[in-house]
Amino acid sequence: MRRAIFPGSFDPITMGHVDIIKRSLPLFDELVIAIGVNSTKKYMFSLEQRKAFIEASFADEPKIKVDTYSGLTVDYCQSIDANFILRGLRNPADFEFEKTITQVNRRLSSIETVFLLTSSETSFISSSIVREVIQFGGDYSSMVPSAVKL
């Protein structure tokens, strides 16, 4: 079975994430959207809210599972027998950051990382931008799935 994880904080999930997830489905038998837990990070949405947003957004997709984890991503992959890590790239800065993480992961395991470029329609969207729009009362509805509600 080709099982991949798509790790992230998803605070909140965006249409950029949705784009990568939907386009990756033909590549894998199962995709686990893995919400990483970092106790030192301040989140806008609780873990339960973030998980609920994702589950509601993909309720009709049987190939998608949603889970949470803490610790090293490669350790989590090994614990669920995932062979791949899926990552989305918006720009060259994302590539440089992700390249370094991928090289470390290769030192630690045999898990392969698969990169997909975001579509031009969603490449400007990031969770941090969405949080800022929300914080200042802007209309964020076109940047997130309809399940993301305050």
Catalytic entry in 90, 109, 123, 131:
90
Residue 94 contacts by C-beta under 8 Å, 6 or more apart in sequence? Answer: 88
Q: In the chain, what is the straight-line distance between the N-terminal and C-terminal CA atoms, in Å? A: 37
Other beta carbons less than 10 A from residue 86's beta carbon: 24
Alpha carbon distance 23, 47 (integer Å): 25
**Residue 133 is which amino acid?**
V
Helix (H, G, I), strand (E, B) or coil at 121: coil
Respond yes or no: is residue 41 known to be catalytic: yes
Respond yes or no: is residue 46 known to be catalytic: no
Catalytic entry in 24, 51, 87, 127:
127
Respond yes or no: is residue 99 known to be catalytic: no
Catalytic entry in 17, 50, 51, 87:
17
Catalytic entry in 39, 41, 107, 120:
41
Helix (H, G, I), strand (E, B) or coil at 71: coil
Respond yes or no: is residue 42 known to be catalytic: no
Residues that are catalytic: 17, 41, 90, 127
